[in-house]
Structure 1
Amino acid sequence: MNLIIDQGNTVCKVAIATEEELVQCYTFPHLSLRDAGQILSAHPSLEAAIYSSVARVDKPLLGLLSERLPSVVMVDEHTAVPLEVEYDRKRLGSDRLAAVVGAYSLAPRERELLIVDSGTAITFERVTSSGTYLGGNISPGLYTRLKALNHFTSRLPLLSDLKDTSLGYGTTTQEALSRGALRGLIYEVDGYIRSLRSLHPEAVVYLTGGDAQMIQELLEEDVYVEPNLVLFGLNKILEYNK
């Protein structure tokens, strides 16, 4: 059994996995040593772990994992992955790489891929039908857009809870902000997908991240939603490095 740890910008996701699938998932604001110890004790069959962080590396946590498990992989620019990578690995977030590996592992062979991860930032990653990760783009996520409008203006309020998912025109400032940010993001995602499918009509698109389900319901283009794509990809990377 494998222990998968993904420390993101806002939460830490943890999974227990077999070679092929995730069997149990947890979410923490931050994975403390106590939390990690309890997970390790609750799953004595664990034999390996993989650790990914877009923030600072938690050295005490890595030390605990190394003490308790025979094999621990920390994802960095040297970690082997099952596809060719043209992006600069020194500057590539491990969560982005894991999402790419996860989608590549799930998708039918010889299909062009687009992976969209929507959270604090929204990322667009391209993988060719021959298994080459060409690179990707980074754009502000939905709530990052709303925070920027509040921060860089004098009177626009900060919207912390987006309950209005209409794409129409707002009749209040709150509606104008929420609908404007959301409509812009939806058009952006649909635009990327249409651009790819104009060249490769059979291209497969995977959508993940905290806003994935809401975005999928508003898109005109068809996509697959995989909420745990990064965790799944990390598990594939761990298996590849055994």
Structure 2
Amino acid sequence: AYPDIDAAVYSSVAQVDQPLLGMLSERMPLVIEIGASTPVPLEIRYDRARLGSDRLAGVVGAYSRVGRGRELLVVDAGTAITIERITSEGVHLGGNISPGLYTRTKALNHFTSRLPLLSDLEDLTLGFGQTTREAISRGVLQGIVYEIDGYIQALRAAHPDAVVYLTGGDATLIQETLRQEVCVDPDLVLYGLNEILEYNK
């Protein structure tokens, strides 16, 4: 059906669909699974056996877009928030992980006896809430915004021209309230997967 496709890359933290993998391997000369030993175009100092393939792909995607010469921060905002640091020489120094928006609201509901579970943040303005629901919405959002702004400010204090990429399911929502300039790229991980594929051809 797609005769021009001669290579594939895949990444999964779940069990791989073996029939699908078999079909890909039969039809394509090159099928790459992202793993601890997959070659990538930059130096990784994080424990590769423990670095999620989505995080790795995001790092590669951002580095491939910017290249050497600029300090980088990659923020992936989803169920968890991951913040990755890449030097201007192309070295991934490591990253940090904290709870994402929904994970924080779920934790407040789960670990307290009376706070409601919010399926969506109901108030996206910064400031202090006037109701419990507003307080949760604003508190969770502001906590994340201040966290990310803090990382960006610390990096740009030393490297004013540093580039920050923001990706993930909550990227657009968070970007609207950040005080720092960032590049929002919802396809950064997919771009990184393609860059890893091209690097291994």
TM class, shorter-length: over 0.9
Q: CA deviation at 1:167?
A: 1.2
**What are structure 1's unaligned runs of at least 5 residues?**
1-40
- CA deviation vs aligned residue, 1:94-128 (integer Å, no higher than 9, x gap): 00000000000111531100000000100000000
Counterpart of 1:166?
125
Name the counterpart of 2:144: 185
Say which structure is richer in strand.
1
The code of the aligned residue for 1:158 comes to L
Q: Does 1:61 align with 2:20?
A: yes
How far apart are residue 62 of structure 1 and its match?
Answer: 1.5
- Per the alignment, residue 166 of structure 2 pairs with 207
**Number of residue pairs matched?**
201
Query: Which SS does the other structure have where 1:90 is aligned?
Result: coil
Pick the aligned partner of 1:109 from 68, 73, 77.
Answer: 68
Instruction: Flag as ranges the 4+ runs of structure 1 deviating above 4 A.
Output: none
Q: Tell me if 1:228 matches 2:187.
A: yes
Distance, in Å, in 2 between the alignment partners of 1:213 and 1:185 is: 13
Deviation string 1:171-219 (CA, Å, 9 cap, x unpaired) is 1111111111001000000000001111111111000001111111111
The secondary structure found in structure 2 opposite 1:188 is helix
TM-score, with structure 1 as normaliser: 0.81
* Alpha-carbon shift at residue 45 of structure 1 (Å): 2.0
Matches within 5 A, 1:65-214: 65-214=24-173
The question of whether the paired residues in 1 share the 8 Å contact of 2:122 and 2:134 is answered with no
Give 1:158 deviation, angstroms.
Answer: 0.8
In the aligned structure 2, how far is the partner of 1:173 from the partner of 1:191?
Answer: 26
RMSD value, Cα: 1.1
Task: Report the Cα offset of residue 80 of structure 1.
Answer: 0.2
- Work out the CA distance in 2 between the residues paired with 1:160 and 1:171: 19
SS at match of 1:45: coil
For residues 59-117 of structure 1, the C-alpha deviation after alignment (integer angstroms, 9 at most, x for no partner) is: 33212211222210000001000001101000000000000000001115311000000
Please tell me the residue identity of whatever aligns with 2:155. L
Residue type of the alignment partner of 1:184: G
Q: Which amino acid aligns with 2:173?
A: M
Higher relative contact order (CA 8 A, sep 6+): 2
Contact kept in structure 1, 2:122 and 2:133, CA below 8 Å: no
Partner AA of 2:9 in structure 1:
I
| Alpha-carbon distance in 2 for matches of 1:144, 1:118 | 11
* Distance in 2, Cα, partners of 1:135 & 1:60: 35
TM-score computed with the length of structure 2 as normaliser: 0.97
Q: Secondary structure at the match of 1:115?
A: strand
